[in-house]
């Protein structure tokens, strides 16, 4: 069946099988391989993208369910060569090692800060608790999100 | 490579050489621009999927693939019969056993590979799996290692000539049995425990997979595959498939975690290669999560019995008897001469009078493996056992567990120290490290808090572990894998402009090699790490070596990079002497520059030497042009990092839920090249240790059905189960490593489970009489222990 999904601001229209998962749709059609899959069961969060600004797990979402919706992937974070503060924070605070969970973590963090610009440590831990990282033990991911929140606050103050 | 731009860190924060340098590899990962296996698409590529056994043990009566072959998108269906014609039905394992690539006669574990479908897309390949009819005749299954040798146990490996029981190895021993008997006879306190280190799984977030691309015109086999030891894999494929080694190229690109799971060769890899050879097009096979958990390299599964004794307040002896469950095919990973890996390091950090260790392995109807989940060849099992036994002894002696350890430690002046099972520890000051951990924890205050809480009916526990690891395998006189020496190469080329490429045989899976190894060259040559590109993960472009596992990258490859840098520096000295018209012995080195002793203004930067080396100017007599060098490093000994860990847990008295409230980790891994990366490694290993201690386990029902085959059932800690880790350090340089480094990646996984379990028992012993709980300390198991009931079986 025909489906049209807005991915990172571009409308992607394609004839697909109704069963095609969003994660495969994103990776296959526009070739955006930053969104990973890790578990098939909504547990690991490597596949998190934003649908209309809310984090969803694209490994258990059918592409056809996204008809007419806006999907944002990790590839949208950097704009005109400027990194998103979340990306900067991950680098600053060594919040990644193998990098496989990073896109999902970053999108989850982006959604959190969009909704709650000044989260507590527990709010950050709760927000990312739907995502698994095997490498970092989460300490530096929490720290990276705190870094991004502080950076964005300082940017707002300057503006 | 793309760089990380518009970051606020000024370049002055970037040290030359060692220090907290932010990682080079982040630039691609934070943008989602890493290239993992499944991100690679080749023209004309087709997709493979594996049909797996629903039974743990069954005879295969028939396989009918006709309906699958009739599927319009299916190109081929491969079974054991097809592989037999290619001589690929069975493959050798890393432990000199054999493993079925596709089952022909019998299936021997649930999830075993039975048929391989090749189709135009992944969805069709998986659809076609449902169209294959396999008739099975179910057989009785063996899932409990303790029952594997019972006379009525069904024979699992009837494919092996002369195999009449389920014994997978002869009994292997270390230490001195008679001396140990004497130590026990003279002891004043003896304790005994049955301790299980349950089966768990490394479960890297990226599963295993391969793209095989055989070109029938040229005979070249290109392999894309995230594995931890690409050079060895290439050699194995050359032997197994009968292909010339120089016509096989393995590229690893980015790997989404390994933790030991990506060391072995799996049947899916052989199927992808065979599929590409037969079909003449690239074949991609990527397993799903259930396949990863059910069929690829598990870890641990050691059933242990131990006795420990003390005399006059000091630990004196240890006796250990282990049944190792190796699953249906013995593919446990360890150096050839060590059938139980490095398990005999089980005498730990203590100056024992004697010890004796026995290990035998059995076959069961469970997935094959026995890989080290972030551990150097069974050291995790050893450390867990000895650190649980020390606590058991302390309970019996009514001694403080730290005090007993302090009384029994090997003293600093005893190094190099030969243990009672034959290890030569290189260096250490254990009591100092223990005291740093106690200070960070506020140990006395914690004991007071515990007493107050106990009086109020609250359950709080403080657990300690102290570990010594042997990592960086290893010296070629002692160890090899499949006959290959455990050495690693490094190849350093400094270009005319002074920029350098260093090629290494280690294989990163997230450890930050592109940064750390650049820092080693930077430190040794005095050029900025940004000017050093680290090449790895391509067998055509890197020197031979055994890869990354067993915390061996820094101890072996790191040493290779230091030595090759020094070779280049030595060559630069000779060239600089010619440039400066002086003798080499009249030159002195400072970072980045040879200068004339007594006339420091007169010197040559490494960049100037490089330019000269490639120029038309005169070189020293007899010297070839260029500024490069190559080494293969053979470590003289293992390195022996150690650490003191303290866990503080709270247990809900109503639900038995264990929460790790604090975790203090003080590691001595010698000199730290990039302390930021070292800290990150420790954080990650601690999280995995919490997982193993509290929730990660692979269990089976009596019929051999795997009960933990997805992340719904194989639980991994999230940010909510991990505390804000508190780290500390002491630095005792390794005396034989060129940089004084010891390796660290696995220490936290090795050291943390016993600290947590000791804390759980510490919380429950006084009030509930609990003196043992097996992992994982789930609410159900802890609740049963609190009620004095036998724990649920595992």
Residues spanned by the domain of B696 = 384-472+639-786
Q: Same domain, yes or no, for A65 and A94?
A: no
Task: Report the CATH number at residue A25.
Answer: 3.10.20.30
Helix axes B747-768, B675-694, angle to 10 degrees: 40
Q: Same domain, yes or no, for A52 and A103?
A: no
In a domain, residue B192? The reply is no
In a domain, residue B594? The reply is yes
- Confidence class for position B12, pLDDT limits 50, 70, 90: very low
Average pLDDT over residues B281-290: 98
Residues spanned by the domain of A16 = 2-76
Q: Same domain, yes or no, for B458 and B501?
A: no
Q: Same domain, yes or no, for B625 and B644?
A: no
Residue B353 is given by DSSP the state S
Residues of B in contact with A24 (CB under 8 A): 122
* Backbone dihedral angles phi then psi of residue B791, each to the nearest 5 degrees: -70, 150
**End-of-domain residue from the set A57, A76, A95:** A76
Which residue shows structure tokens 């960070």? B440
Q: Same domain, yes or no, for A66 and A96?
A: no
What does the DSSP assignment read for A26-82?
HHHSS--TTS----SSSSS-TTEEEETTEEEEGGGSBGGGGTT-EEE-GGGSSBTTB
Q: Same domain, yes or no, for A124 and A102?
A: yes
Q: Same domain, yes or no, for A6 and A71?
A: yes
- A136: nearest CB among B206, B684, B720: B684
pLDDT greater than 60 at residue B605 = yes
Residue among B498, B491, B493, B530 nearest B514 (CA): B530
Decide: B66 and B304 in contact? Cβ < 8 Å: no
How many domains is chain B partitioned into structurally? 3
Helix, strand, coil content of chain A in percent (nearest 5): 45, 15, 40
**End-of-domain residue from the set A76, A98, A114:** A76
Residues B609 and B627: their CA atoms lie apart, in Å, by 8
Q: Same domain, yes or no, for B664 and B715?
A: yes
pLDDT greater than 90 at residue B109 = yes
Q: Same domain, yes or no, for A89 and A69?
A: no
Q: Same domain, yes or no, for B505 and B552?
A: yes
Residues A146 and A152: their CA atoms lie apart, in Å, by 10
Q: Same domain, yes or no, for B741 and B715?
A: yes
CB interface of B with A, residues 686-725, below 8 Å: 686-688, 710-712, 716, 718-720, 722, 724-725
pLDDT in tens, B670-684: 999 999 999 999 999
- Confidence class for position B370, pLDDT limits 50, 70, 90: confident
Interface residue A46 vs chain B (CB under 8 A): yes
| Listed range (A92-96, B7-11, B668-672) with the worst mean pLDDT | B7-11
Task: Report the CATH number at residue B739.
Answer: 3.30.365.10
Give residues with Cβ within 8 angstroms of B630, minimum separation 6: B489, B490, B491, B492, B543, B564
Decide: B649 and B463 in contact? Cβ < 8 Å: yes
pLDDT in tens, B518-573: 999 999 999 999 999 999 999 999 999 999 999 999 999 999 999 999 999 999 99
Residues B230 and A4: their CA atoms lie apart, in Å, by 42
| Listed range (B3-12, B403-412, B529-538, B665-674) with the worst mean pLDDT | B3-12
- B680: nearest CB among A97, A130, A134: A97
Q: Same domain, yes or no, for B502 and B608?
A: yes
pLDDT greater than 70 at residue B1 = no
Average pLDDT over residues B73-94: 95
pLDDT greater than 60 at residue B9 = no
Decide: B523 and B18 in contact? Cβ < 8 Å: yes
Interface residue B257 vs chain A (CB under 8 A): yes
Residue B661, Cβ density class (10 Å: 0-12 exposed, 13-18 middle, ≥19 buried): middle
Q: Same domain, yes or no, for A70 and A134?
A: no
CA B238 from chain center: how many Å?
A: 25
Q: Same domain, yes or no, for B542 and B459?
A: no
Q: Same domain, yes or no, for B607 and B737?
A: no
Residues of A in contact with B8 (CB under 8 A): 88, 92, 151
- Taking CA atoms, B643 is separated from A131, B422, B666, B722, in Å, by 30, 21, 5, 20
| Mean pLDDT score across all residues of chain B | 95
Write out the two tokens for B413.
């002046």
Q: Same domain, yes or no, for A89 and A66?
A: no
Q: Report how many Cβ contacts below 8 Å link chain A to chain B.
A: 191
pLDDT at B15: 58
Residues B642 and B667: their CA atoms lie apart, in Å, by 6
In a domain, residue B738? The reply is yes
pLDDT in tens, B247-282: 999 999 999 999 999 999 999 999 999 999 999 999
Write out the two tokens for B63.
């396989």
pLDDT greater than 80 at residue B16 = no
Residues B615 and B188: their CA atoms lie apart, in Å, by 76
Q: Same domain, yes or no, for B703 and B626?
A: no
**End-of-domain residue from the set A56, A76, A96:** A76
Q: Same domain, yes or no, for A6 and A72?
A: yes
Residues B288 and B543: their CA atoms lie apart, in Å, by 32
How many domains is chain A partitioned into structurally? 2
Q: Same domain, yes or no, for A30 and A92?
A: no
Q: Same domain, yes or no, for B128 and B250?
A: yes
Share of chain B above pLDDT 70, in %: 97
Bridge partners (DSSP) of residue A2 are: A15
Q: Same domain, yes or no, for B605 and B536?
A: yes
- Confidence class for position B333, pLDDT limits 50, 70, 90: confident
Task: Report the CATH number at residue A91.
Answer: 1.10.150.120
Residues of B in contact with A138 (CB under 8 A): 683, 687, 718-719, 722
In a domain, residue B352? The reply is no
Residues B681 and B747: their CA atoms lie apart, in Å, by 9
**pTM, two decimal places:** 0.97
pLDDT at B791: 63
Q: Same domain, yes or no, for A152 and A103?
A: yes
Q: Same domain, yes or no, for A66 and A14?
A: yes
- Confidence class for position B3, pLDDT limits 50, 70, 90: very low
pLDDT greater than 50 at residue B299 = yes
Q: Same domain, yes or no, for B626 and B656?
A: no
Interface residue B31 vs chain A (CB under 8 A): yes
């Amino acid at each position: 069946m025909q489906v049209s999904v807005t991915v990172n601001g571009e409308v992607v229209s394609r004839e697909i099988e109704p069963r095609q998962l969003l994660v495969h749709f994103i990776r296959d059609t526009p070739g955006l391989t930053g969104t990973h899959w890790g578990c098939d069961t909504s547990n690991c969060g490597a596949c998190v993208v934003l649908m209309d600004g809310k984090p969803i797990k694209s490994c258990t979402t059918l592409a056809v369910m996204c008809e007419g919706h806006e999907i944002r992937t990790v590839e949208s974070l950097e704009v005109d060569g400027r990194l998103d503060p979340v990306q900067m924070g991950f680098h600053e605070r060594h919040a990644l090692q193998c990098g496989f969970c990073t896109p999902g973590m970053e999108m989850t963090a982006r959604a959190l800060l969009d909704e709650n610009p000044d989260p507590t440590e527990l709010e950050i831990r709760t927000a990312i608790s739907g995502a698994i990282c095997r490498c970092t033990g989460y300490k530096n991911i929490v720290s990276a999100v705190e870094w991004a929140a502080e950076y964005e606050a300082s940017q707002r103050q300057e503006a | 490579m793309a760089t990380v731009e518009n970051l606020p860190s000024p370049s002055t924060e970037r040290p030359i050489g060692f220090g907290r340098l932010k990682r080079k590899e982040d630039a691609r990962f934070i943008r989602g621009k890493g290239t993992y296996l499944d991100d690679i698409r080749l023209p004309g590529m087709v997709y493979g999927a594996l049909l797996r056994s629903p039974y743990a043990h069954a005879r295969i009566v028939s396989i009918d693939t006709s309906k699958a072959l009739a599927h319009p998108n299916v190109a081929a269906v491969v079974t054991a019969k097809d592989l037999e014609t290619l001589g690929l039905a069975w493959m050798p394992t890393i432990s000199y056993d054999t493993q079925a690539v596709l089952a022909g006669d019998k299936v021997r574990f649930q999830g075993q590979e039975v048929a391989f479908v090749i189709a135009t897309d992944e969805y069709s390949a998986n659809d076609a799996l449902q169209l294959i009819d396999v008739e099975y005749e179910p057989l009785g299954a063996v899932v409990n290692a303790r029952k594997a040798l019972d006379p009525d146990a069904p024979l699992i490996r009837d494919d092996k000539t002369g195999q009449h029981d389920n014994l997978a190895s002869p009994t292997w021993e270390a230490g001195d049995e008679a001396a140990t008997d004497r130590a026990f006879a003279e002891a004043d306190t003896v304790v005994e425990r049955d301790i299980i280190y349950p089966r768990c799984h490394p479960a890297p977030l990226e599963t295993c997979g391969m793209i095989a691309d055989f070109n029938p015109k040229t005979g070249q086999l290109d392999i894309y595959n995230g594995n931890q030891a690409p050079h060895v894999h290439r050699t194995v494929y050359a032997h197994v498939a009968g292909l010339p080694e120089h016509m096989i190229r393995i590229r690893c690109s980015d790997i989404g975690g390994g933790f030991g799971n990506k060391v072995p060769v799996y049947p899916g890899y052989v199927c992808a290669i065979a599929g590409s050879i037969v079909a003449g097009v690239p074949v991609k096979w990527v397993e799903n999560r259930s396949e990863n958990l059910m069929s690829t390299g598990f870890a641990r599964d050691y059933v242990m019995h131990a006795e420990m004794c003390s005399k006059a307040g000091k630990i004196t002896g240890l006796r250990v008897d282990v049944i190792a469950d190796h699953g249906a095919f013995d593919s446990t990973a360890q150096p050839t001469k060590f059938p139980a890996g490095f398990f005999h390091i089980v005498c730990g950090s203590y100056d024992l009078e004697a010890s004796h260790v026995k290990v035998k392995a059995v076959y069961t109807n469970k997935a094959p493996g026995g890989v080290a989940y972030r551990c150097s060849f069974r050291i995790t099992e050893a450390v867990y056992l000895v650190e649980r036994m020390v606590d058991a002894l302390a309970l019996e002696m009514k001694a403080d567990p730290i005090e007993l350890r302090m009384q029994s430690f090997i003293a600093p002046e005893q190094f190099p120290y030969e243990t009672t099972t034959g290890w030569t520890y290189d260096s250490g000051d254990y009591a100092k490290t223990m005291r740093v951990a106690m200070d960070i924890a506020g140990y006395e205050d914690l004991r007071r808090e515990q007493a107050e809480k106990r009086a109020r009916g609250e359950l709080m526990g403080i657990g300690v572990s102290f570990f010594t690891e042997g990592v960086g395998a290893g010296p070629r006189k002692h160890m090899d894998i499949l006959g290959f020496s455990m050495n690693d190469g490094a190849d350093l080329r400094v270009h005319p402009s002074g920029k350098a490429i260093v090629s290494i045989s280690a294989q990163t899976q997230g450890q930050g090699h592109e940064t750390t190894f650049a820092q080693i060259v930077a430190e040794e040559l005095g050029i900025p790490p940004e000017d050093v590109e680290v090449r790895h993960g391509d067998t055509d472009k890197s020197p031979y070596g055994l890869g990354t596992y067993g915390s061996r990258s820094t101890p072996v490859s790191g040493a290779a990079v230091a030595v090759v840098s020094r070779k280049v520096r030595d060559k630069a000295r000779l060239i600089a002497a010619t440039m400066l018209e002086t003798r080499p012995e009249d030159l002195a080195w400072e970072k980045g520059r040879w200068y004339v002793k007594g006339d420091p203004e007169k010197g040559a930067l490494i960049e100037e030497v490089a330019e000269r080396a490639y120029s038309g100017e005169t070189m020293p007599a007899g010297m070839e042009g260029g500024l490069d060098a190559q080494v293969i490093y053979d470590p003289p000994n293992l390195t022996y990092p150690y650490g003191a860990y303290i866990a503080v847990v709270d247990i809900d008295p109503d639900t038995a839920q264990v929460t790790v409230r604090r975790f203090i980790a003080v590691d001595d891994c010698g000199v730290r090249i990039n302390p930021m990366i070292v800290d990150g490694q420790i954080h990650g290993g601690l999280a995995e240790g919490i997982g193993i201690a509290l929730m990660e386990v692979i269990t089976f029902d009596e019929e051999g059905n795997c009960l933990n085959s997805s992340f719904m059932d194989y639980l991994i800690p999230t940010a909510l189960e991990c505390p804000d880790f508190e780290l500390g350090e002491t630095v005792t340089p390794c005396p034989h490593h060129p940089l004084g480094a010891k390796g660290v990646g696995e220490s936290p996984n090795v050291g943390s489970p016993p600290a947590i379990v000791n804390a759980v028992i510490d919380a429950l012993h006084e009030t509930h009489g609990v003196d043992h709980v097996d992992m994982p300390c789930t609410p159900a198991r802890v609740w049963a222990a609190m009620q004095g009931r036998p724990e649920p079986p595992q």
